[in-house]
Amino acid sequence: PLIKERFPEGGMRLTFDRVGHFSNRVMFIGPAADDDREKFLSFRDALERIFVEAKLVSPDDEYKVHGTLLKGSVKIPDAVVEE
pLDDT of residue 38: 87
Rounded to an integer, what distance in angstroms lies between the CA atom of residue 10 and that of residue 8? 5
Please determine, for residue 74, whether its predicted confidence score (pLDDT) is greater than 60. yes
22-65 pLDDT per residue, tens = 888 889 998 899 988 888 888 888 888 888 888 888 888 877 77
Q: CA-CA distances (angstroms) from residue 25 to 1, 21, 42, 71?
A: 35, 7, 28, 6
Confidence of residue 78 (pLDDT cuts 50, 70, 90): confident
pLDDT above 80 for 79: no
Residue 19 has pLDDT above 80, yes or no: yes
pTM over 0.95: no
Query: Of 39, 23, 2, which Cα lies nearest the Cα of 72?
Result: 23
